[in-house]
Structures are given as structure tokens and as C-alpha cells.
Structure 1
Amino acid sequence: MTGSSPAATARPLAEAALDRARRLGARHASFRSERVRTSRLVLLDGAVHSGHDSTVIGLSVTVWRDGAWGFAASGDLTTRSARETAARAVEVAKAGSALGREEEPVPEPVHVGVWSSGFRVDPFSVPEAERAALPAEWSARLLAAPGVAHVRAKVVAVREDKFYADLAGTRTEQRRVRVHPQVVVAAGGTALRTVGPPTGRGWEYLLGEGWDWEAELATLPGLLRDKRHARPVSPGHYDLVVDPSQLWLTVHESVGHATELDRVLGHEASYAGTSFVRPGDVGALRFGSPAMTVTADRTTPHGLATVGYDDQGVAAQSWDLVRDGVLVGSQHDRRTARAAGATRSAGCAFAETALAPAITRMPNVSLAPAPGGPSTEELISTVEDGIYLVGSDSWSIDARREDFQFTAQRAHRVRRGELAGQLSGVAYRSDTRAFWGALAAVGGEGTYRVFGADLCGKGQPVQAAAVSHGCPTALFQGVRVRNTAGS
């Protein structure tokens, strides 16, 4: 691992904190020290509009003592602070034990290792002027194109350095880097943005490694023009061919969040919501059609939720959530695993920074393609009367992750197997199980791409997490479509 990391200064702090926690009776105790640096640059019509570069540092201690959990954190990275933080965490656990007992966290093998995400060029090693020059050049090129009145460009970069240690002997050091470039073009009250996703790569991503930005930027003016002249959709039921750039968000909201075990257990009821899934549904609930297989993992190359180890010292894993349309798994951590009947955590614990407690957070959740399956063009060719959706846009879903509505950046009419111009006002609305039950076919490996969200909120106080979702192009039959313009 190159560049500075908190490990060198964190190790003595960890030993001091863990020793104090052990002496005060903690059966389980863990220590985290983190440095999270975030840069955000926004340009309007080629000129810098805003920018910030911030760093959050801190340490925290989590303990389990006498059937209760305790957590405490500090922004003071000193040995004295580490010991005091451990003592406060134990006091929190003592207070909690009077309110009821929780089962002991499930065990995890001891791990000692150093891990880094798959980036080549640390974005923070790129001079600030160079980081601004590239989106400025993109903006100038688009502003020179016919029909483009305004351009908004942004580049977000995050570098997360973390050191973890616990009483069992685990000692891990990690570095994660992610970037998210985005460009929005607008004219006459209509806007269109790039669909290139945030990713666990470095600055090389903006130079075309992992996404063809040159090709996408070249298509934006024409697509914007077509969107401005799009015909309003007629409400009704349509066959939908959904591109992975749109479908990933539906996977995130209706499958990813619905299978988080803390939601299933009601732990998030007062803020992020619960789930229609019940604790006993694993292995029995028909979630969708037999064409639906969804995996969860922490190992996807360049995934936003990809790690070497989670924030409870659990090594990254991969497992099925839905297999052949049946719910077969859930997302849990060392605190909730026993409720799932598991003897080991799935490794889903994550905290936004060291100043926040780790909670169950979504791993990369992805819809599997069909081996040797059809191309996007072949799926479209099977549709007599339908719509092809590209790019995620607005969304709405109820607190139980059932009733939802989604829109797309672009909606293309499909007639007799061919694209026939863009439509406006397209929103598809359904119930989660009805929608996934309408899944008629998924594309092959050649249609599979990885998208995702870099600001998924959950918890109280709210924490943000980043997560990727891979999808093939998919065909859904007879889905209700409404016109958001009301016509």
C-alpha cells in the first residue's frame, strides 16, 4: 500500500484501547482508526462553481460485555484518548445491559492482512488544476455542440484508509478509492446526464479505463435533442426491456434493501424502513420468476462495497440472496447473524467513518446474466409493443420495500422489435414480487455491466455508504406504465 495510512500511528492506540477494554471486563472488543478524504468539484458551463476537499479522522472502540454492546469514538488520536474511549464504550455497554441482553456475536477466524481496492492512480495525487481541466474540457466540447445550452460537470473522489484490530488477534489495514464523474447537458427545460457510474477505480477511470467517456459524451447532444422532442407516453401495460444502467437502481431498492436482516427484524423501522420479507422466509419465499438469481458479495472487482474485511473484522465473501426466483439468503453481520440461523457473519458491517458505529450495510448486490443468453438487440427484437429504458432517474418506494415507481433518463418506444423514437413522462409502477415475477428473460454475459450508488443513506444518525450493482439487460412482460405529466 502506497501513500500515508493510519496503521503506523494506530497500532499503539489499538493496543492501549483493547487492553483497557479487556481489563474492564469486555469479552469482545474491536478498535478502528480511519482517515476518510473527500474531494468534490462542480463546474457550471465550464467554470468552477464550487469545490471542497475535506478529511475526517478518528478512532472508535466497540465492545460486547455482559450481553450488551457499547460504542464510543473520538477525534483525538492519542493513547490517552484511546484508553478513555474504550472506557466510555464499556460504560455504554453496562448501561445497555440493564435494558436487556443480546446474544454473543458469532465467531470469526483471526485475520492479519493488508488490502487495497483496484485503483491505479490515486486521484489525490493528481494536481488540482489537472482535476479541474478535464471536466472543463468536456464542458467546452459539449457547449460547442448544437442544441446544448448548459453543462454541469462534477467529479467526486474519496479515499478511505482504515486500521482494524480486535481482542481475538485480527489486525487489518485497508485502503479504498472511488471516483464519480458525471455530466449533465440541458436545453429548453430538458436535461440529460451521463450514465457512467461511480466506481472503485482511480483517476484512470476518467481517462477511459473502465468506461468510454469519449463515446458517451459524443452521443449526449443528439440524445438531448431527441428527448426534447419526445412524444408523451400513453399509460398502459407494456413489455419493458430494461438496460442495466436503469435496472441497477431497482435491484438496489427492491432487492438489496429488502434483504437486509436488520430491516427484516424491524431495527430500521423508525427511519430507513422495514421489509416485506419475514425472518422465516429464507428458503421459502417466491421473490421472482425462475430467471431471477441475485448474488451478494464484497469481492466484485472495482465494486463500491468491495472490501478485504468488514468493520467487524470479517473477511469478504460472496453468497446468493435469490436463486431461481426463491429467496435463499440475507445480509447480516456478527450482531445479527444468529437471527438468520448462521454460525458466521456474511461480512456486512460498515460505518461511514470511525466516528460512527458499524451497522448492517449492503454488499454489492447483482442480478446474474444468463449463460449464453441473448444480446440487448435480441431482447428488443422479441418485443411487439414495449419500451426500452436507459439510465436511472427518479424513484419512490414504500417503507416495506413493496410498492414502487421508477423513471429513466431515456425511454425509447419499441414497435415490432425495433426502436421507434423517445417517449416522455414514462414511469413504471409495480409491487416488488409482481415486478420480479414478470421477469421473462435476462441477457447474456455481454449485456452485463456494473453500476451503483455512492450515497446510500441509512441509520440514525444517518450514515452514507457506497454500493455497486451488476445487471444484464432484462425483459419484463406486462408492467404498468403511467405518464408522470398526467396526460
Structure 2
Amino acid sequence: MAHQVDQSFLALPLRALADAALARARALGAEHADFRLERVRSAAWRLRDAKPSGSSDTTDLGYAVRVVHGGAWGFASGVDLTMDAAARVASQAVAMAKLSAKVIEASGSRERVELAPEPVHADRTWVSSYEINPFDVPDADKTGLLAEWSERLLAAPDVAHADASLLTVQENKFYADTAGTSTTQQRVRLHADLTAVAVDPASGEFDSMRTLAPPVGRGWEYLTGGHYDWDDELARMPELLAQKMRAPSVEPGTYDLVVDPSNLWLTIHESIGHATELDRALGYEAAYAGTSFATFDQLGKLRYGSEVMNVTGDRTAEHGLATIGYDDEGVAAQSWDLVKDGTLVGYQLDRRMAKLTGFERSNGCAFADSPGHVPVQRMANVSLQPAPQGPSTRQLIDGVERGIYVVGDRSWSIDMQRYNFQFTGQRFFKIENGQLTGQLRDVAYQATTTDFWGSMAAVGGPQTYVLGGAFNCGKAQPGQIAAVSHGCPSALFTGVTILNTAQEAGR
């Protein structure tokens, strides 16, 4: 169903505010200026044992002006929706740029801010792909559905507690710049999550298991329209959790792994997604776990993984959390290669990073999470591609003599260069001679990024591909949060180091 931009957003004085701000910036000599007005509504509901435990519903409304003046950035934001206020904010942005230019000059640096060119996109409108806006659904229906699902889990004898949550976001954005681009966009996304907890009364030992359903750029239909089999997962979770409670602890060593998309997406996020952000690779960004081992001098040379490794950056994937029509610098959404046949061939760029390093154009990775924040380079939907005629997950498992099938994400740890890492999961199944022979506990896999992806012996076919992701990717100072998806098939990795987390914790 094709949706229109919310009329209440269009009723705001979008163009008048932009015209006032951009005219003032031009008059003050800005080489470039852009205006961005946003309204971001976020709502959440939480239940504990089928009873409401909290909710929130907030709206962030405001605008920002960013300029390049004298070769330096300037930025300011405001909430007063009048033409005079917008012009004042533009003046503040120019004043900030002038001050920054003096500081840069005093430091002895000759670097000037320049932006890669982008075609003009005038009067463009883009709305994400969804059927039912979750904000059109009564709150009672949302909490009612979460309560019903929670009660299904609690009805099982092995489930002591059940937690449920639902997060929903509607993001409206208007952008205009001095080159003539103007865009109006609307994005909707949601994430539903249920966790079952089991407790052994005799020992006090406990464990939990969470649903595997990923967050999506969809609407309410994701929960009720058959896009994900919630009934099947909720029916199977109690017994899977009971089996996990009885499962033996893993014997540390070297195993072959079949990694399900519900786990592999997070490994992609941490070891590829962040590592191929060009600002990290150049050392301009180090917040939230550092820079990157995949430095710019290795472009076209670095052996990132095996020949079956093909990874794309994509701002266009339907229902992707990082999918847009245009980024926060007016750049149209694109898809491009990051890793081709195992070799690093690309990065994620904004307009400044593109110009600085000789790329002809940005690939649309500038984003700010609120009108009060400056756009920074943010992650696209970074995805591992399936093999066109590739095997099923079952076929991947069939070929393993001694291994582990990893399902669902849990904790992670990675070093400041995005190189040495350790990941756990929700469910681990022992593989013996091609057969799943029961669950294991206390499992973590450990590797370096290039060793892990170099050990990837096979990727599944399109039938195994799932678009996973998260709402809460952090970056920058002051910190910003962005939602991002990562698609991948099931994949087979050989000779991976497995740790016993219980033994490691006891050291």
C-alpha cells in the first residue's frame, strides 16, 4: 500500500523556514548551506508477566542549519518555527563556522571542508514501505497483543517469567539546500520482542530465550499480517528453553560453525559495518569502539574473507531500517559493493569523506538522529549476499562432522580496531555427522575479523536470507543512535575457536 506523507507534517511552514534560513546563510557568504526540519515520534510499551510495566510516547520537533563558510563547518539548531528564528539560527551557524575557521588556522591545518558534488533533487517525496502505520492502531490493541503472547509463554510449565516489548517510530524529515535540492520523507519502523525466563527452584539456576523476529521497516502488519510466524515461534520457545536448561556445557576447542542469519547479522554489523565506515578507516571517528583495521591504503588490496564473501552497502533495500530516499546531505539512496569475492572494494561515505579521498560522489551515508544533532557518517544496510543456487541451512548442516549450529544474537565484544572479537548467541545445537544432537550452553565463538570471514566455506541460497538488524547503533560524540538492517544467508565457517563462557568467567 502506497502511503502519503502525514498531512500534519506538511502543514508546518517547511519551505518558508528553509527559505529564510538559506537566504540568510547566502547573504552571510556561506559556500554551502542546508536546512533540515524533523519530527520524530517514538513510542514504547513494556509488559512483565503479561501485565503493563511501562510505556512512553515522545515527539522531537525542530530544525537545523548547517553551513560551510571559510572552509569550515558551522551548525546550529532551533525549535521556534518562525521565519525570524530560522534566520537567526542560520546566523548562529555561520558564526560557528567563522570561529571554527580561526581555530583551524591557529592549529596550522590547511584542510578545508569541501563536499563531493551531487545532482539536484528538487521537490522529491519518499515514503517507506509499510501497510498499517502503528500509530494508527489503538494502544489497547498493542498491549493486548503483547499480553496474549506473554500468556502463551507463561502457560508452559517451564516458563517462570515472560517479558514483552514493542518499539515504534515514525520519522518525518524535510531537507533543502542552497544547490536547489528539496526532499520530504516519512519512515516507519517497529520492533517487537518477547523473552521467556526459566528458573530451577532447586538450584536457583536460570536462563532465558528471546524471539528471533528482527526489527523491520514495516508497520503493524508485521505483527498480524503473516509476514513472520509468531505463532510457531511462541509455541516452540518453551520446549527449546527447557532443553537449554538441561543442556551440557560446551567443551572448548575448534569447531565448524553453521551460523544462522539471526546471529550472523550482528557479526556483520560489528566486524564489517563499522569497519567499512570511511571516517573510522581514516581516523576521523573513534567513538563507540574505535577506528578500523580496514585502512584506506588497503582499498582494493585487503583480503577481508574467502572468495564466497560478497558484501554490499545498501540504502534502498525494501523494509531496511537504514533505507531512505535521500540522506541528510540531499544524496539519493544507492547500493554498492563493499567486499567483492573476499576483497575490500568500497567504503560507506558522506559528501565530505568522498571529496577528501577522491570519490566522485557520496553513497548517501549522512544521517542525524534528531534535529538537534549534526549529520554524521552513518551505516547503510550492510549485507552479506547469498549464493544464487546456494544450499539450504539443512544442507549446510548435513556436511558438518563436528560442529555447532548458532541461532540468535546475545552478547558481543570487539576491539578498538574492529579486529579481535567474541560473540555469543541465543541457542546452540551440537552437530555430529550432519545431525543436530541437542543443545549446548555457555558457547562463545572467538576470532579475528579476517580469520573468521576467511574461514567461510559456503553461504546459503536466497531461501536462507533474512534481513536482521537493530534500532540502537551508537556513534559520535555527543552520541547518536541509528537503526540499521543487515541481511545475510546462513553460512558455514570451518575451524573456529569456541570458548566456554562459564569457565572463562570463573578464571
TM-score normalised by structure 2 residue count = 0.95
Q: Which residue does the alignment assign to 2:6?
A: 3
1:90 aligns with 2:101: no
Indicate which of 119, 122, 125 corresponds to 2:130: 119
Task: Specify every segment of 5 or more residues in structure 1 that has no aligned partner in the other structure, as ranges.
Answer: none
Which string of whole-angstrom CA distances, capped at 9 and with x for unpartnered residues, describes residues 63-103 of structure 1?
A: 11111111111122221221111001101111111214424
CA contact (8 A) 2:289 2:418 kept: no
Q: Which residue does the alignment assign to 2:448?
A: 431
Partner Cα separation in structure 2 for residue 37 and residue 360 of structure 1: 22
Partner Cα separation in structure 2 for residue 262 and residue 418 of structure 1: 45
For 1:285-364, list aligned pairs within 5 A. Answer: 285-364=302-381
1:409 aligns with 2:426: yes
CA contact (8 A) 1:231 1:422 kept: yes
For 1:88-487, list aligned pairs within 5 A. Answer: 88-98=92-102, 99=104, 100=109, 101-112=111-122, 113-188=124-199, 189-269=206-286, 271-486=288-503
Partner Cα separation in structure 2 for residue 272 and residue 367 of structure 1: 22
> Shift of the alpha carbon at 1:338?
2.1
Q: Which deviates more, 247-256 or 145-154?
A: 145-154
Partner Cα separation in structure 2 for residue 76 and residue 119 of structure 1: 32
Equivalent AA in structure 1 for residue 310 of structure 2: T
> Shift of the alpha carbon at 1:206?
0.9
2:45 alignment partner, SS class: strand
Equivalent AA in structure 2 for residue 161 of structure 1: N
> Shift of the alpha carbon at 1:485?
0.3
CA contact (8 A) 1:244 1:451 kept: yes
Q: 1:430 to 1:417 in 2, by over 3 A?
A: same
CA contact (8 A) 2:5 2:185 kept: no
Indicate which of 20, 33, 37 corresponds to 1:33: 37
> Shift of the alpha carbon at 1:2?
4.5
> Shift of the alpha carbon at 1:4?
3.3
Equivalent AA in structure 2 for residue 3 of structure 1: D
CA contact (8 A) 1:7 1:162 kept: no
Which string of whole-angstrom CA distances, capped at 9 and with x for unpartnered residues, describes residues 328-353 of structure 1?
A: 00001011102332011110000001
> Shift of the alpha carbon at 1:215?
1.2
Partner Cα separation in structure 2 for residue 209 and residue 268 of structure 1: 41
> Shift of the alpha carbon at 1:371?
0.9
CA contact (8 A) 2:365 2:378 kept: yes
Q: Which deviates more, 262-271 or 39-48?
A: 262-271
For 1:62-73, list aligned pairs within 5 A. Answer: 62-73=66-77
Partner Cα separation in structure 2 for residue 469 and residue 5 of structure 1: 32
Partner Cα separation in structure 2 for residue 134 and residue 270 of structure 1: 38
How big is the alpha-carbon RMSD for the aligned residues of Structure 1 and Structure 2? 1.0
Q: Give the % identical residues.
A: 56
Partner Cα separation in structure 2 for residue 4 and residue 353 of structure 1: 20
Which string of whole-angstrom CA distances, capped at 9 and with x for unpartnered residues, describes residues 141-195 of structure 1?
A: 1111221111000000000000000011111000000000000000111100001
Partner Cα separation in structure 1 for residue 338 and residue 114 of structure 2: 25
1:404 alignment partner, SS class: strand
CA contact (8 A) 1:7 1:163 kept: no
Q: 1:306 to 1:209 in 2, by over 3 A?
A: farther
Partner Cα separation in structure 2 for residue 467 and residue 448 of structure 1: 16
CA contact (8 A) 1:429 1:482 kept: yes
CA contact (8 A) 1:330 1:340 kept: no
Task: Specify every segment of 5 or more residues in structure 2 that has no aligned partner in the other structure, as ranges.
Answer: 200-205
TM-score normalised by structure 1 residue count = 0.99
Partner Cα separation in structure 2 for residue 478 and residue 339 of structure 1: 40
Which string of whole-angstrom CA distances, capped at 9 and with x for unpartnered residues, describes residues 275-330 of structure 1?
A: 00111211111100001000001000000000000000000000000000000000
2:371 alignment partner, SS class: coil
1:83 alignment partner, SS class: helix
CA contact (8 A) 1:178 1:201 kept: yes
CA contact (8 A) 2:348 2:365 kept: yes
> Shift of the alpha carbon at 1:208?
3.8
Equivalent AA in structure 2 for residue 152 of structure 1: D
Q: Which deviates more, 278-287 or 173-182?
A: 278-287
CA contact (8 A) 1:444 1:472 kept: yes
> Shift of the alpha carbon at 1:131?
1.3
Partner Cα separation in structure 2 for residue 405 and residue 4 of structure 1: 47
Partner Cα separation in structure 1 for residue 174 and residue 373 of structure 2: 15
1:315 alignment partner, SS class: coil
Partner Cα separation in structure 2 for residue 87 and residue 367 of structure 1: 45
* Superposed structure 1 runs of 4+ greater than 4 Å apart: none
> Shift of the alpha carbon at 1:218?
1.1
Partner Cα separation in structure 1 for residue 299 and residue 8 of structure 2: 41
CA contact (8 A) 2:287 2:476 kept: no
Partner Cα separation in structure 1 for residue 236 and residue 288 of structure 2: 40
Q: 1:270 to 1:451 in 2, by over 3 A?
A: closer
> Shift of the alpha carbon at 1:271?
4.7
Equivalent AA in structure 2 for residue 136 of structure 1: A
> Shift of the alpha carbon at 1:3?
2.7
Q: Which residue does the alignment assign to 2:59?
A: 55
CA contact (8 A) 1:5 1:161 kept: no
2:386 alignment partner, SS class: coil
Q: Which residue does the alignment assign to 2:46?
A: 42
CA contact (8 A) 1:254 1:432 kept: yes
